[in-house]
Structure 1
Amino acid sequence: MTTYRASRLQGITVFVQAVEAGSFTAAATRIGLSKSAVGKSVATLEQRLGVRLLDRTTRRLALTAEGADFHQSCLRVLAELDEAESRAASRRREVSGTLRISLPVTFGRQWVMPVLCNLARQHPKLTLDVAFADRAVDLLEENIDLVVRLGDPGNSASLSARYLGHQRTVTCGSPAYFVEHGVPTSIDDLANHDCITFGQGGHVFPWKLLDSEGRSVDVKIRGRHTISDGDALRAAVLDGLGLAQFPTWLVADQLRDSALQTALAPQGVEGSPIHALWPATRDLAPKIRATVDELIRAFTPVAPWDRDLA
């Protein structure tokens, strides 16, 4: 049935080309067929319709009355087909549909959501479906279009990745804490301070510090307290409970307002990377491409949370 319909459409196309070209020879040149193939196609069409569409002369083709009427109908059909193809191609390029995206909870809420809101305003046909999770989301298993991941992006052949930058980590305390306990000047000094570590699932994360030669090292800190939520950890340090290490994106406002102050490496130490990940396909959906491009514009070359920090 499909082949039959395709041959009918081809016959109509050849007929219209023959009329516009004025001869089978000229039509054959236009569409890349032989003159005999063009003539046979038109003859088959006439046989199927049971009417003569063209009067053939040695010099030129002439439409019969039935042929003229059929020709106008064919032009309308082909115009509608062209319009349908254009609409389909436009939708293929258009940023539309539902974008299912997974974000780290605090980072996503504070820094990615404004980017997504701006994107949605630019593209009225885009629908956001945003989930928050502080875990390694399985994009294929959970039917996710895009994920922003803090840390190691992994090495899966089924995923594509785009680097968005690195986190920068700083060791912070409140001004009141430093007045009471002093400011540590070396890694060894931390043993004399109330350090608060970040831990999840029984794992306590090391601090990234600079050794005496300026090299980045991971240091296991014996913290007096351990807190598993970044916002709560920040609140505890603001309250003067002790020192902690943060990514600058979490404490940018507090550093800018001097509610928190840095110690050891004031400029911070390069931490884990930030990536956008999506299922690897040869044809990237416009909604994913647009989102990744918007994230790149927002986060590079300098991350917004670091732009005003010394």
Structure 2
Amino acid sequence: MSEQFRGVEEFVAAVEAGSFAQAAQRLHITRSAVAKSIAVMESRLGVRLFHRTTRSQSLTDEGAACYERCRRALQELEAARQDIDAGRLVPTGRVRVSMPDVVGRLCVVPLLLELAQQHPELVLEVSLNDRRVDLVEDGVDVALRSGALPDSAVLSARSVGHQWMGVYAAPAYLAARGRPADLAGLRAQFPAHRFIVYGRAGASGLWRFGQGERPEDTLPIPAPALVFDSIEAMCAAAVAGLGLVRLPKWLVAPAVASGQLLPVFDEPVPFGFPMHLLWPHSRRLPLKTRVVLDLLGQRLPGLLAAS
């Protein structure tokens, strides 16, 4: 960037993030680089932009006026970039995408294959792994995450719905062991049932219902009959009649449609794990990344809601 404009992006980021350290995280540079760029900008303008102490920073009057102009200038540059990208129409380059194994393989990968056919110049690098990667450190462009959002100043997020959960069992199992009408009935019949849970060897289980936070919204399972670290294996065990299972509705939908599994009872207040797309925060989101986010953002909610 020309020396004339050096520090503009760092200055705006420092104002909006609230500190040089947070601005550095947002821009993926060091704190010292932010401080140096802003110092150069102050020297060039001949004014102080911030009142700074060891514990706080605030804008000077000159800094406040400068911020508004710099912010508008960056917005105009971003609008120009978007116009240029819109004119290209063809996204090119590498996009690294990370997602949990099963939902990725069954829901996301088919969508990415469509995208690859539409845009052959797009190079998709896809990781199917339940490990939570560090997007910035691992160089990941887009990640699909289940559960609560991380508290991060360097990541942006887009909701793609929920993984709604249900309790399921094979018809023969319910005929033999009984079919509770609701959660209270399941508690009452607890000793009569076998439970299939997610976890590692030796793990107990905890099923969440409703809001999932109050004691009455949880069902502890101290001695499950079967424990798997694969939700597909859990589904297969339930189809085989080996117990009750709690799984995402999208996963069991084919088994329910074929009559291999039945929903055990309706839940007045459904429980689900929120799903989000995450990507490193950037003022200049490349077209190649945006087409991935747009496709998954438009199509995944419908797939996850399938039941």
Question: What's the TM-score bracket when you normalise by the shorter of the two chains?
Answer: 0.5 to 0.7
What is the CA-CA distance between 1:230 and the residue it aligns to? 1.0
- How many residues are matched? 220
Q: Given residue 121 of structure 1, which amino acid in structure 2 is its aligned partner?
A: Q
User: Relative to structure 1, is the Cα distance of residues 267 and 129 closer, same or farther in structure 2, using a 3 angstrom cutoff?
Assistant: farther
Q: 1:182 aligns with which of 178, 196, 206?
A: 178
Partner of 1:173: 169
SS in structure 2 at match of 1:235: helix
Counterpart residue identity of residue 304, structure 1: L
Which structure has the bigger radius of gyration? 1
Aligned to 1:104: 100
Structure 2 CA distance for partners of 1:209 and 1:270, relative to 1, 3 Å: closer
Assess, with a 3 A threshold, how the Cα gap between structure 1 residues 216 and 117 changes in structure 2: closer, same or farther: farther
How far has the Cα of 1:205 moved from its partner?
Answer: 4.7
2:161/2:304 contact within 8 Å kept? no
CA distance, structure 2, for counterparts of residue 177 and residue 206 of structure 1: 21
Q: Tell me the SS of whatever aligns to 2:179.
A: coil
- The correspondence for 1:124, drawn from 114, 120, 124, is 120
Matched with 1:269 is 270
Aligned in 2, Cα 1:121/1:155: closer, same or farther, shift over 3 Å? same
Which residue matches 1:160?
A: 156
Q: Quick one: which amino acid aligns to residue 135 of structure 2?
A: L
Check if 1:248 corresponds to 2:244: no
2:195 is the counterpart of 1:195: yes
Say whether the 8 Å CA contact 1:195–1:243 is kept in structure 2: yes
Q: Give structure 2 stretches of 5+ with no counterpart.
A: 4-80
| Partner-residue secondary structure (3-state), 2:278 | strand
Superposed, which structure 2 residues align to 1:30-41 within 5 Å?
A: none
The corresponding residue for 2:76 is: none
Q: Which position in structure 1 is the counterpart of 2:70?
A: none
Structure 1 residues 122, 229: CA separation in 2 closer, same or farther (over 3 Å shift)?
same
Contact 1:252–1:306, Cα closer than 8 Å, also in 2 = no
Q: Return the offset for 1:156.
A: 0.7
1:139 aligns with 2:135: yes
Confirm or deny that 1:217 pairs with 2:217: yes
Change in CA separation of 1:291 and 1:274 when aligned onto 2, cut-off 3 Å = same
**Residues 92 and 145 of structure 1: CA distance in aligned 2, closer, same or farther (over 3 Å):** farther
Match of 1:304 in 2: 303
**TM-score, normalising length: structure 2:** 0.65
Structure-2 change in CA distance of 1:171 and 1:137 (3 Å): same
In 1, are the aligned partners of 2:209 and 2:271 still within 8 Å (CA)?
no
